[in-house]
Amino acid sequence: MKRNNSVRTFLPYVLLLSVILVAAYFWDANNTKVHELSYNEFMTYLESEQVTKLEVTPKSSDSTYLLTGKLEDYDKNESFTLILPYTDSVISKVLEEANLQQLDIVVNKEPRYVWVSVLMEFIPIIMIASLSVYLVRSMMGNGKGGTLDFGRSRAKLNQDGGKTTFKDVAGLNEEKEEVKELIDFLKNPKKFQKLGARIPKGVLLVGPPGTGKTLLAKAVAGEARVPFYYISGSDFVELFVGVGASRVRDMFKQAKQTAPCLIFIDEIDAVGRQRGTGLGGGHDEREQTLNQLLTEMDGFGANEGIIIIAATNRPDVLDPALLRPGRFDRQVTVNLPDVKEREAILNVHAKGKILEESVKLEHIAQRTPGYSGADLENLLNEAALLAVRRNKNAIGMDEIDEASDRVLMGPAKVSRKVTDFEKKVVAYHESGHAVLGIELPNGEEVHKITIIPRGMAGGYTQMLPKEERTLVMTKEELLQRITSYLGGRVSEELFLGEMSTGASDDFKRATAIARSMVTEYGMSDLGPVQLEHRSSEVFLGRDYTTSNKNYSDTVALEIDKEIRKIMNECYERAKSILIKNKDLVTLLANTLSEKETITKEEIEALVEEYNNSKKEKKSKKDE
């Protein structure tokens, strides 16, 4: 196989060189001017001693002599040619006259192999024909996806399903149970057919990016040990209408030949968006591709033994016909991992990495809520890169902390010039956030405060929930979160008498929570009414005219008043808390200005120092 590939690699260059040589030969032949002389003309020139060079070649095939040579007045590229009959008297007369003049004569022997000269005449034709055939086969692709091979499927085949199994997929226990039926069916379909059970034709994996949807599909194929076709949704769509539908047909045709098998379509929303929507009323090529996919999955033709697994993080844009029973019968939601699943994922990605004894994966899992599996892999990889850069023999917690900051905010901009006033503003801003996190009853724990610029932020306060919850949040918890976001601006006003632009992102998050409380959660004086819902952004799968506004202008005014009311109440609450704990804010701000970064342990020590001094002042006052 390797030898064949090497021949194919060098064949174009050999053909190209041959074409260049043939072209050079014909170019030289075209630049040479040849005069055909008669016997009388030649003898006149010969007798008048105008012939300077003569070459005689016998040709027994047609019983003639070929004479070529030059005359005195010829240029470098000029020559004459003459054909004489094959008789001794004629050629003897010519040679006798030439010898008398002492002319330079070359008499060639008769060639023994006439077929060689004939073959040389056909070599250019053979070379050009071979090059033409090669170029055409390359464009057609020879069945392997050439330039003109538009209708062939782009799906790649893995015969044994791959080496990935469920052991390589950490967490996702419920999701694994959902897809185990597919594995049992692929291994023993008669067991299901005996009871009349119909296995789902399609399984749709839904979830945020990086949660392991593609990995789960590979593990299903690896466990079942069946042929596994994988393709991206964008590989179907082409410039020419009808190409995508042809590729779908070809993909299912190939799959039928290797059934039972799996087909995995990643990012299916690229081809499965709703039909008849968008800026121009739809997309003909994409919609034809979708129509063909719908027909192949559940049409008149039977696709027994073919199971389709698709993945997307935008199920809301998919066409309803794609989600009906008989096509994608089952939807499996792959959510972000919880703390136990994060620890299991870290254990998988920690294999092959040298960690210090102080590094506890359990603690890292607790400090990374909201991280996906891909984020955790990136976290450990960034930590390993930092350890190598620092010439360390193992990965420590310092590298883990720095890698976490890099993943969230970007690299630290240590070389950036920051004035003392800017540093003071950022220190009091972040201290305000931290104090509210400490003092609020249901506030988040403060793990780290820094005023070192990262990304677009001048500093940040890392706060993590005391208990990880993913289902519900109470009204009080939402209000406390808004209060915590407003702590930075309140601290600037109280202790510096100034307002900075650093609170813009805090206002954005706080306002979004307040608006959701009013319009979605029914947590205001407007009552338990949902006035707005999510997914109101514009994208190509929807029309620009789609509106999620379900209220009048009068209600819109009421919504604005309620949002402003919530924000003002939380602002006043933050102000009262910071006034009561102004010494703690000042202590944290001064420590930040000195050290630039303080950790959870240092924060706890400062809070304890503040509480002790507070008790001493109170006891002295009582005395």
Rounded Cα distance, 469 and 133, in Å: 66
φ and ψ of 93, to 5 deg: -65, -40
Residue 587: partners with Cβ closer than 8 Å, 6 or more residues away? 606, 609, 610
Residue 37: partners with Cβ closer than 8 Å, 6 or more residues away? 45, 80, 81, 82
- Using DSSP, state whether 87 is helix, strand or coil: coil
Give the ranges where 112-188 is alpha helix by DSSP (H): 114-140, 173-187
- Using DSSP, state whether 200 is helix, strand or coil: coil
Q: At what angle do helices 582-595 and 553-580 cross, to 10 degrees?
A: 80
Rounded Cα distance, 388 and 390, in Å: 5
Residue 196: partners with Cβ closer than 8 Å, 6 or more residues away? none
Residue 472 Cα distances to 366, 464, 476, 515, angstroms: 19, 17, 12, 17
430 given a catalytic annotation: yes
Report DSSP letters for 563-591, one per residue. Answer: HHHHHHHHHHHHHHHHHHTHHHHHHHHHH
| CA-only gyration radius of the chain, Å | 42
Rounded Cα distance, 383 and 401, in Å: 8
Which residue of the set 175, 267, 402, 430 is catalytic? Answer: 430
Contact criterion met (CB below 8 Å) for 69 and 51: yes
Q: Is the peptide bond before 58 cis (omega within 30 degrees of 0)?
A: no
Going 119 to 124 to 127 to 130, the CA torsion angle's sign is negative
Report DSSP letters for 405-454, one per residue. Answer: HHHHH-SB-TTS---HHHHHHHHHHHHHHHHHHHHSTTPPEEEEEE-S-B
Q: Is 91 exposed, middle or buried (0-12, 13-18, 19+ CB in 10 A)?
A: middle
Residues involved in catalysis: 430
